[in-house]
Amino acid sequence: MSFSNFGFIPPIGKAISRINYSNPTPIQEQCIPAVLSGRDVLASAQTGTGKTAAFCLPLLDLVANKPKHKHKRNISPDVLILSPTRELASQIEQELKRFSHFMDTNIVAVVGGVSYKLQNKLLKSNVNFLVATPGRLMDLVRQKKINLKHIDALVIDEADRMLDMGFIPDIKKIFECTSKDQQVLMFTATLNKQIEKIAQQFLKDPQRIAIEQENKANKNIQQIAYPVADYNQKKLVLVDVLNESDLNQAIIFTATKREADRLSDELYLLNHRSKTLHGDMSQRERTRTISRFKNNEIQILVATDVAARGIDVDDITHVINFDLPRQVEDYIHRIGRTGRAERKGKAISLVVDKEKFMLQKIEKYANIKIEIIKSNHSTADLSLTYKKKESGFKKKRRSSASNKKNNDKFTSSSKRKKPGFKADVKAKPRRRPVKKNTKSQATVS
């Protein structure tokens, strides 16, 4: 099938050629005709399948062919796209701008963390496409800055994530502010009972589109897990992975924001161009970090799940789960940051004993087999390293009964000791790593 089969208006066809899409992806093949026919759609498709274009392209076509609304008193968009995160919203906004390059379409994103002054400025002119996160949109609707009564289409993107983040009540309120006659498209990476229930509330006789189970984990992504003994061994394996010759850019996922900060600092000391991305950063900082990552000024992003969602950087070769996610769906979202646009990618998980259960859950859920590779850093070596580098004071503490308990929980971030990389690799008397020597030390195991 080719894009010309959809009969898009010429400016859309021109934009598709300009961005070099040769053929529609499976989700686009199924979704575009359904949207063009005016039907509601419930699509389960993972990230990286081309789902953004699957709804943006036909909606652009529909809006271009409709008479323009003129509602002077407040902003009245034609299409409302709801996204769970700011990053995904900005991603959709950028994609829409690329697709409407040859059209006169006004696209605005309203997300939390951006100044109201700036947003009010953007909301002065007529808006065709409004991309929004639920919280900020609710504020603007309450302030009567935005009127949703005349929207022709509502897109709820990443509905499963909306559910996880507790946004469904907000979406219900937003839905109440619409005429309820609009076309509704809902996208989700996972389709379970809860999502079905939500779909029933918003969709009318939707066309169901499911991209097959085998696509849950992109076949272009090689998935590997390294069983490791503890946090320090995770770091040793991580350093090796970061030195792999095929690594171009990487995202490392950690369980907590604190962990992300700490790991990023440690990698920076090892001369890696690393930076954190998490929810404690201001929107400005996050946007700047993502743009620097896109420009390859940052090579390694150490991130938490929410912040990294929606990042679309073609050259990410490695996704590293320093900590496995708490939810299986997040694994799919995480690894979807690599292997994009038909490129090859690697998803590497560093798994301590208590995470093995989650690894099995992921394999079952995604219907995949993750290749288990034994790391070169043997546990015996590692414990030896510990003994060598421990100070007398630490030894004393470890011998007490309460600290034994802590050691059992060594991988829990709150209890974790934090030796520098250099000290972890081979016993050295100095505690702080010296920038120049650390890299080579750390890579020797």
3-state SS of 355-366? HHHHHHHHHHHH
| 51 touches ligand AMP by CB under 6 A | yes
Tell me which stretch binds ligand AMP (CB under 6 A): 34-42, 45-53, 316-324, 431-439.
Answer: 45-53
Query: Residue 12: which H helix or E strand, with range?
Result: helix 10-18
Alpha-carbon gap, residue 290 to 298, rounded angstroms:
9
State which of positions 256-275 bind ligand AMP (CB under 6 A).
Answer: none
Give the residue with the Cβ less far from ligand AMP, 188 or 233.
188
Choose, by CB under 6 A, the member of 11, 48, 134, 206 that binds ligand AMP.
48
Give the residue with the Cβ less far from ligand AMP, 6 or 421.
6
Q: What is the largest CA-CA distance in the chain?
A: 79
Choose, by CB under 6 A, the member of 15, 25, 137, 346 that binds ligand AMP.
25
Choose, by CB under 6 A, the member of 8, 35, 43, 50 that binds ligand AMP.
50
Q: Collect all residues with Cβ–Cβ distance below 8 Å to 150 and sequence separation of at least 6.
A: 69, 71, 76, 78, 179
Cα-based distances in Å from 230 to 262, 276, 411: 16, 22, 6
Tell me which stretch binds ligand AMP (CB under 6 A): 18-26, 58-66, 206-214, 423-431.
Answer: 18-26
CB of 252 to ligand AMP, least distance (A): 20
| 53 touches ligand AMP by CB under 6 A | yes
Q: Which two tokens stand for residue 302?
A: 């150490």
Q: Residue 161, exposed/middle/buried by CB under 10 A (0-12, 13-18, 19+)?
A: buried
CB of 187 to ligand AMP, least distance (A): 9
Give the residue with the Cβ less far from ligand AMP, 249 or 411.
249
Choose, by CB under 6 A, the member of 30, 52, 188, 233 that binds ligand AMP.
52
Give the residue with the Cβ less far from ligand AMP, 24 or 77.
24
| 30 touches ligand AMP by CB under 6 A | no
Exposed e or buried b for every residue in 331-358, given b needs 16+ CB within 10 A? bbbbbbbbbbeeeebbbbbbbbeebeeb
CB of 26 to ligand AMP, least distance (A): 10
Choose, by CB under 6 A, the member of 30, 44, 49, 182 that binds ligand AMP.
49
Tell me which stretch binds ligand AMP (CB under 6 A): 44-52, 73-81, 238-246, 284-292.
Answer: 44-52
Tell me which stretch binds ligand AMP (CB under 6 A): 51-59, 110-118, 237-245, 399-407.
Answer: 51-59
* SS3 call for 44: strand
| Contact (Cβ atoms closer than 8 angstroms) between residue 165 and residue 193 | no
| Contact (Cβ atoms closer than 8 angstroms) between residue 192 and residue 161 | no
Write 258-267 long-range contacts (CB < 8 A, 24+): 258/413, 259/322, 259/323, 259/413, 260/302, 260/303, 260/304, 261/302, 262/418, 263/235, 263/302, 263/322, 264/300, 264/302, 266/235, 266/420, 266/421, 267/242, 267/300, 267/302
| 26 touches ligand AMP by CB under 6 A | no
Tell me which stretch binds ligand AMP (CB under 6 A): 47-55, 148-156, 189-197, 238-246.
Answer: 47-55
What is the crossing angle of helices 86-99 and 10-18, to 10°?
A: 110
Binding-residue total with ligand AMP (CB under 6 A): 14
Give the residue with the Cβ less far from ligand AMP, 57 or 425.
57
Tell me which stretch binds ligand AMP (CB under 6 A): 48-56, 121-129, 276-284, 377-385.
Answer: 48-56
Q: Collect all residues with Cβ–Cβ distance below 8 Å to 187 and sequence separation of at least 6.
A: 43, 44, 45, 51, 55, 155, 156, 157, 158, 159
State which of positions 317-376 bind ligand AMP (CB under 6 A).
Answer: 340-341
Task: Provide the binding-site residues for ligand AMP, judged by CB under 6 A.
Answer: 21, 24-25, 28, 47-53, 312, 340-341
